């Protein structure tokens, strides 16, 4: 639970932080990945409900309820499939691919910022 607090730091992933803390504590990869997603359910449900409450007038008056419900169902299905794939992946592999990806992307972004090719927002 406290690992999620690390996500308050800009750029820190909530699931990445909870997985890292779990691995540091000696749990296996699949268990900490499942736990990380279970810990995220309350926050994601609350964020979704808050968003629905604030967008209520736009849904009813513009977009419509049927497309909104359909989009929500598709997002749920894709999210469920993605989590199932990730759990199979971490059962067979370690997290080194993700670590290399994050370090490589970070180096590229830093170089682009330092050369002026992109600017920080």
pLDDT digits (tens, 9 = 90+) for 13-30: 888 899 999 999 999 999
Cα–Cα distance for residue pair 46/39, rounded to 1 Å: 12
DSSP assignment of 33-83 equals HHHHHHHHHHHHHHHHHHHHHHTHHHIIIII-HHHHHHHHHHHHHHHHHHH
Q: Map residue 28 onto helix, strand or coil.
A: coil
Residue of 114, 90, 102, 117 lying closest to 34 (CA atoms): 90
Which pLDDT score is estimated for 119?
A: 92
Is this prediction's pTM over 0.75? no
Here the tokens at position 39 are 């810990």
Q: What are phi and psi of 32, to 5 degrees?
A: -70, -30
Residue bearing the bigger pLDDT, 87 or 51: 87
* Ranges of each domain in the chain: 2-115
Within a 10 A sphere around the Cβ of 21, how many other Cβ atoms?
A: 19
CA–CA distance, 75 with 81 (Å, rounded to integer): 10
Sorting pLDDT into bands at 50, 70 and 90, what band is 102? confident
Read off the pLDDT of residues 38-69 as tens digits, 9 standing for 90 and up: 988 888 889 888 988 888 777 777 778 888 88
Token pair of 96 as six digits: 């080194």
CB 95 within 8 A of CB 29: yes
């Amino acid at each position: 639970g406290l690992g999620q607090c690390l996500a308050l730091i800009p750029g820190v992933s909530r699931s990445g932080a909870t997985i890292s803390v779990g691995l540091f504590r000696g749990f296996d990869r699949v268990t900490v990945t499942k736990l990380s997603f279970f810990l995220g359910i309350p926050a994601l449900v609350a964020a979704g409900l808050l968003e629905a409450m604030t967008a209520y007038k736009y849904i009813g008056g513009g977009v419509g309820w049927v497309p909104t419900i359909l989009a929500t169902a598709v997002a749920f299905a894709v999210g469920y499939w993605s989590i199932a794939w990730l759990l199979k992946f971490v059962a067979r592999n370690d997290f080194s691919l993700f670590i290399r990806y994050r370090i490589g992307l970070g180096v590229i972004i830093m170089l682009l910022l330092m050369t002026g090719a992109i600017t920080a927002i």
